[in-house]
């Protein structure tokens, strides 16, 4: 039984894209995708 994964969990498995960035919920943090890595600012 596999849980559904959040966008931030998927980023740990593969390079981040705009689609993974756009799927993030508004949690009050700022994020950027730099060279396939999701960075929290």
Residue 36: DSSP 8-state: T
pLDDT digits (tens, 9 = 90+) for 1-41: 455 566 666 556 788 889 889 999 999 999 999 988 889 98
Q: Is 40 helix (H, G, I), strand (E, B) or coil?
A: strand
Q: What is the pTM for the complete model shown?
A: 0.55
Domain edges within the chain: 7-40
Complete DSSP assignment for 1-41:
-PPPPPHHHHHHHS---HHHHHTS---S--EEEETTEEEE-
Q: What's the length of the chain?
A: 41
């Amino acid at each position: 039984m596999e849980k559904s994964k959040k966008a931030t969990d998927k980023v740990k498995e593969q390079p981040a894209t705009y689609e993974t960035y756009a799927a993030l919920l508004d949690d009050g943090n700022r994020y950027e995708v730099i060279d396939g890595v999701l960075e929290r600012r």
